Structure 1
Amino acid sequence: MGKYQKEAQDLLEFIGGKDNIAAVSHCATRMRFVLNDPSKADEDKIDDIPVVKGMFTNAGQFQVIIGNDVPVFFNDFSAVSGISGVSKDAGKEAAKQNLNVVQRAVSVLAEVFAPIIPAIIIGGLILGFRNLMDGVPIGAFGGQTIIEHSQFWAGVHSFLWLIGEAIFHFLPVGITWSIAKKMGTTQILGIVLGITLVSPQLLNAYGVASTAAADIPVWDFGFAQVQMIGYQAQVIPAMLAGFMLAYLEIFFRKYVPQSISMIFVPFLSLVPTVLAAHVILGPVGWAIGSQITNVVSTAIDSNFSWLFGIIYGTFYAPLVITGLHHLMLTIDLQMVADLGYTTLWPMVALSNIAQGSAVLAVVYLHRGNKREEQVSIPSTISAYLGVTEPAMFGINLKFLYPFVAAMIGSGIAGCYITVMNVKAIGVGIGGLPALISIQSGSKINFGIGMAIAIVVPIILTIFFRQRGILNKLDPVGGKVDAPTINEEEAVSNPEVTQVGTESFYAPVNGSCIPITEVPDPVFSQKMMGDGFAIKPTDTHVYAPVEGKVTNIFNTKHAIGITSSLGIEVLIHMGLDTVELAGKPFDVKVSEGDSVTADTLIATMDLDAVASAGKQTDIIVALTNVDKAPLMTLSKTNTVAHSELIGEADVL
């Protein structure tokens, strides 16, 4: 009888039986199911299975968190169900059956934009700094701007445009590369296609409006002429061309003999796509983008602008949950390309602030709950800096009433700044720092909008809780789940005995963050237990604790160590790296080896992980929460491997 045979049988029954499973796979921490009918899964009964630590649905997959023993559990599940697993990629493919057309389109958009979002954020930050330097008169400088007052800062301002132009004007290159990468086609061809859309030989897209039709350069083919127009900063033309290139390459791969495919497949894919991009796809995409911009601009300039602001401000946060906010990013970028500003991004920033403010109210309402503060306080900071997922998934959606309070506050703030015609010169910076991206004449009104987004959610969150509105889990005077086990409790309760304190060390050089800031809900919501993560700057990974290696995953991306005091520690290298099949990792230890903080346990090719579009964060999770419910980090930010950075009381 397998170790988890009973639990596996229960899960099979509660998930709807064998006939309800289209595909199943697993990663380092969770089972991933594609269900024929997701409604048949009884989540309450599944949650009662002792080995289950949580569950959620993402991209058509029903994921059940098991923990370090998921490979053992998976084997037992396969035995009792008679179902063999599939690869993670095959599981994703099968999961598409649970997605409608809109969800599939959103999923594609998310996968296309995810690898280029870091560049967009940097570009937004740079444009914001340049905005402060050239658009804000300083009283101490006699009303001059920074660049008018200082030649040094004028030089910095000019230099930064080199980076800003590379990111936004040449954005089509990033889009076509990302599409090629997502579709599994030749990435260099995607890059070349993008360059043909922004080549210096073409009339710059920003100069088209001011150029007479007769002066626009053309390619003259004798029987026809094609205008030589560039598509700098244009999103939709680049996406149309990128997908045409990818599908042509996939098509010709099937029919061109492999012996000559190296020559003919790139030629037959790239040349027709470049021609179509300048003859059909570019003009059509530009027209579509312009129409989208016109629709949004008309709505904002109409007598019903206040209603538009309320709707967009209120419902942006639910869009983040569904993934549709990636579509909104496309519209933002298109507006900046067409108009030089966007009126939507300021509302995004206020939605970030509103979610953070609602969590701040929960911090106040639940003050004294040290364990929850390990999630709520970092989530508040993260939301105020523009990343709301930890706040929404970790706190606000859990209790619901803070989430609704944040939506209402964001809607009111969105209404105000829309009526006041607040504009941002770029995208990428959310939360409080977004102020630097706001046009000079709009900063005061945006500041008022920020105040609304802070005050209203706090007041409503407190009001909703006190009145019991949308509040089933958190009654006034009731206990908040997951209370902290402290020393006084350990003394007064003989069943809770502290047996020692375990020390934890940085496993790699880099920047240390709390586990609540990891961009994966399984870790950030502490479904796997408390811990921390390192954003690595080095390839060498060391043991974070003294103990013995108990588990090395076949895909080499995760290693389990049991500490000398019995804490089960999971070292997870990168996010979603199970599908890389171990290629970026070289494990230096074997199961049963004793390790210390100075023991090199693996190396990780950071460039290979990043090139695959994956996060390189190295997560350290304490998975047996009954023995170590809470970890205290003594150091964050820059750390060196083997440096003491935290402790956990072992019960």
Structure 2
Amino acid sequence: MSKYTESAKELLKLVGGADNISAVTHCATRMRFVLKDPKRADIEKIEALPLVKGTFTQAGQFQVIIGNEVAAFYNEFTKVSGVSEVSKDDAKVAAKQNMNFLQRMIAHLADIFTPLIPALVVGGLILGFRNVIGDIKMLEDGTKTLTEVSQFWAGTHAFLWLIGEAIFHFLPVGITWAIARKMGTTPILGIILGITLVSPQLLNAYAVAEAKEIPFWDFGFAKIDMIGYQAQVIPAILAGFLLTFLERNLRKITPNSISMIVVPFFALIPTVLIAHTILGPIGWQIGSFISDVVYSGLTSAFGWLFAAVFGFFYAPLVITGLHHMTNAIDLQLMSELHGTNLWPMIALSNIAQGSAVLAMIYINRKNEEEKQVSIPATISCYLGVTEPAMFGINLKYGFPFLAAMIGSATAAIVSVGSNVMANSIGVGGLPGILSIQPQHMMMFSVAMLIAIVVPFLLTIVFAKTKMNKFSFKKAQS
């Protein structure tokens, strides 16, 4: 008998039994259930289990936070429950039965951008390093950069752009591939579509504004501008969904004997044509409008208010899953402004949540059982994974979550007020500073300090007042 057997049996009973489970899988720290009737799950008793660090529902899935032991626990749970093992993708498909239209749209966005995040993180670090060695005048009394005095660093600077360009300029290839993969169509067609949006024979998107003459394809009766969509997000999303729409519907009406020839041909060619004549220009305008609105809001006289609202409400957005929408906005800002002032606030929110838990460790320093949950949660939060901290500690008590939200808003005001910009989406939490543009690292460090100190002190203050009687979970129930 495994040490998890009894806990697995108890959890099975509390989620409503095997007949209430449509699908179950796990991620790095959580069991993820798709329940036929979510109301049958006894959340209060589940959270009282010694192994459970918290619960929440997101994207149609009831998620139980176990921690680093989740893989071993999951294996035992599937044995005692008799529920068949499924992949994360299968679980997401099953979860749609519990999702409304908005939740399904957000889930689609998350599935598109999540596979791209590792590349974007690497790209952000590379751009940051290139800025340090190529832009900061740190040598010869502050008159020269490393690349100006060293051929090695000059060569490194040039070489690293090979990777940076592949990640950011050719981002549409990743997006169209991710959409094809997500929608169950042919990934290679998505890749080819993406390449047609960034092909070297097209005028680079960054050169359009300064171009004296834009090349074009001449069909005699019509001309189409040969403009690329390097780093553009929305044109790639629109084109990717059109490709999958055409391919899926063509497969329904095309005989299997000729589908391998007919479907790719009549799905890809019309999509590329429409992408360059309609979807590309429209998507470019939409993307520019969104980035202009966000950037104008953050740099206007009321930028502090925008920052305060975003910083305060970002953590609650994580609970709903709406935070996935910020990935598209960040990428659009990067394509328009060569950086994003939105993402630094996300990193600060992660730090603030971890700091609130750090205060709870201090408050409950004599409680060994509490520390077993709080210490790992703090570490993971400071490294950018907030769920164990938020759902295992902060939402459980309520007042630490509020303290973290206030600290996040305060740090966000400082970040935006100092015009802090990140090169890219990066590693969340404390390592987030590695993605900040070098000239802004000092002020971001100040904002990080605020995100550590303010939630810590507020949590202790709230714990000594009537605020400690308030629980977000009780308020929501």
In the aligned structure 2, how far is the partner of 1:72 from the partner of 1:427?
39
Question: Is residue 302 from structure 1 mapped to residue 303 from structure 2 by the alignment?
Answer: no
Q: 1:50 to 1:339 in 2, by over 3 A?
A: closer
1:474-516, Cα deviation, whole Å (9 max, x unpaired): xxxxxxxxxxxxxxxxxxxxxxxxxxxxxxxxxxxxxxxxxxx
Contact 1:346/1:434, CA 8 A, preserved across alignment: yes
Contact 1:293/1:335, CA 8 A, preserved across alignment: yes
In the aligned structure 2, how far is the partner of 1:50 from the partner of 1:358?
22
* Aligned-residue offset at 1:128: 1.1
Q: Which runs of 5+ in 1 are unaligned?
A: 79-83, 474-651
Partner of 2:77: 70
In the aligned structure 2, how far is the partner of 1:377 from the partner of 1:96?
34
Q: 1:437 to 1:68 in 2, by over 3 A?
A: closer
Q: 1:56 to 1:327 in 2, by over 3 A?
A: closer
1:56-106, Cα deviation, whole Å (9 max, x unpaired): 43321335788555345435xx9xxxxx99998666434323212221111
Partner of 1:597: none
Q: Secondary structure at the match of 2:217?
A: strand
Q: 1:379 to 1:161 in 2, by over 3 A?
A: farther
* Aligned-residue offset at 1:359: 2.2
Partner of 2:36: 35
Partner of 2:260: 262
Contact 2:205/2:228, CA 8 A, preserved across alignment: yes
Contact 2:54/2:392, CA 8 A, preserved across alignment: no
Q: Secondary structure at the match of 2:62?
A: strand
Partner of 2:205: 205
Kindly report the root-mean-square deviation, in angstroms, between the aligned alpha carbons of the 2 structures.
Answer: 3.3
Partner of 1:146: 146
In the aligned structure 1, how far is the partner of 2:446 from the partner of 2:23?
49
In the aligned structure 2, how far is the partner of 1:466 from the partner of 1:303?
37
* Aligned-residue offset at 1:289: 0.4
Partner amino acid for 2:222?
A: A
In the aligned structure 2, how far is the partner of 1:88 from the partner of 1:320?
19
In the aligned structure 2, how far is the partner of 1:153 from the partner of 1:364?
46
Look at both structures and tell me which one has the larger radius of gyration over its CA atoms. Answer: 1
Structure 1 or 2: more strand by fraction: 1
Question: Is residue 123 from structure 1 mapped to residue 123 from structure 2 by the alignment?
Answer: yes
TM-score, structure 1 length as denominator? 0.64
* Aligned-residue offset at 1:453: 1.1
1:342-396, Cα deviation, whole Å (9 max, x unpaired): 2111211211221222222222223354554444334333333333333323432
Partner of 1:437: 435
In the aligned structure 2, how far is the partner of 1:311 from the partner of 1:88?
33
In the aligned structure 1, how far is the partner of 2:344 from the partner of 2:53?
38
Partner of 1:339: 337
Q: Percent identity?
A: 58
In the aligned structure 1, how far is the partner of 2:390 from the partner of 2:48?
24
Contact 1:226/1:279, CA 8 A, preserved across alignment: yes
Question: Is residue 395 from structure 1 mapped to residue 393 from structure 2 by the alignment?
Answer: yes
Q: Which runs of 5+ in 2 are unaligned?
A: 67-72, 472-477
Partner of 1:419: 417
Contact 2:374/2:389, CA 8 A, preserved across alignment: yes
Q: Secondary structure at the match of 1:62?
A: strand
Q: 1:88 to 1:110 in 2, by over 3 A?
A: closer
Contact 2:125/2:426, CA 8 A, preserved across alignment: yes
Q: Secondary structure at the match of 1:469?
A: helix
In the aligned structure 2, how far is the partner of 1:436 from the partner of 1:43?
39
In the aligned structure 2, how far is the partner of 1:268 from the partner of 1:377?
56
Q: 1:454 to 1:108 in 2, by over 3 A?
A: same
1:304-350, Cα deviation, whole Å (9 max, x unpaired): 11110101111112222222222111101101101222211121121
1:140-192, Cα deviation, whole Å (9 max, x unpaired): 65442222232211211111111111111111111111111111111111111
1:420-479, Cα deviation, whole Å (9 max, x unpaired): 322223322433333343344433332221221111111111111122414468xxxxxx
In the aligned structure 1, how far is the partner of 2:33 from the partner of 2:222?
55
* Aligned-residue offset at 1:40: 5.8
In the aligned structure 2, how far is the partner of 1:270 from the partner of 1:337?
26
Partner of 1:102: 102
Partner amino acid for 1:176?
A: T
In the aligned structure 2, how far is the partner of 1:237 from the partner of 1:42?
45
Partner of 2:136: 136
Partner of 1:363: 361
Q: Secondary structure at the match of 2:33?
A: strand
1:587-602 correspondence to structure 2 within 5 Å: none
Q: 1:434 to 1:71 in 2, by over 3 A?
A: closer
Q: 1:357 to 1:50 in 2, by over 3 A?
A: closer
In the aligned structure 1, how far is the partner of 2:270 from the partner of 2:314?
39
Contact 1:174/1:194, CA 8 A, preserved across alignment: yes
Contact 2:18/2:81, CA 8 A, preserved across alignment: no
1:254-289, Cα deviation, whole Å (9 max, x unpaired): 111111111111111111111111111111111110
Partner of 1:271: 269
Contact 2:60/2:97, CA 8 A, preserved across alignment: yes
Partner of 1:155: 155
1:162-311 correspondence to structure 2 within 5 Å: 162-212=162-212, 215-311=213-309
Partner of 1:24: 22
Partner amino acid for 1:251?
A: N
* Aligned-residue offset at 1:207: 0.5
In the aligned structure 2, how far is the partner of 1:31 from the partner of 1:303?
44
Q: 1:158 to 1:394 in 2, by over 3 A?
A: farther
Partner amino acid for 2:35?
A: V
Partner of 1:490: none
Q: 1:133 to 1:194 in 2, by over 3 A?
A: same
Contact 1:185/1:246, CA 8 A, preserved across alignment: yes
Contact 1:132/1:436, CA 8 A, preserved across alignment: no
TM-score, structure 2 length as denominator? 0.85
Q: Secondary structure at the match of 1:193?
A: helix
Contact 1:15/1:46, CA 8 A, preserved across alignment: no
Structure 1 or 2: more helix by fraction: 2
Partner amino acid for 1:109?
A: L
Q: Tell me the matched-pair count.
A: 455
1:97-149, Cα deviation, whole Å (9 max, x unpaired): 32122211111111111111110110011111112112322266544222223
Q: Secondary structure at the match of 2:294?
A: helix
Partner of 2:456: 458
In the aligned structure 2, how far is the partner of 1:427 from the partner of 1:87?
27
Larger RCO (CA within 8 A; separation ≥ 6): 2
- 2:375 corresponds, among 369, 374, 377, to 377
Q: Secondary structure at the match of 1:32?
A: strand
In the aligned structure 1, how far is the partner of 2:322 from the partner of 2:249?
29
In the aligned structure 1, how far is the partner of 2:430 from the partner of 2:91?
39
In the aligned structure 1, how far is the partner of 2:133 from the partner of 2:88?
48
In the aligned structure 2, how far is the partner of 1:449 from the partner of 1:71?
45
In the aligned structure 1, how far is the partner of 2:90 from the partner of 2:199?
38
Partner of 2:325: 327
Q: Secondary structure at the match of 1:184?
A: coil
Q: 1:381 to 1:309 in 2, by over 3 A?
A: same
Partner of 1:485: none
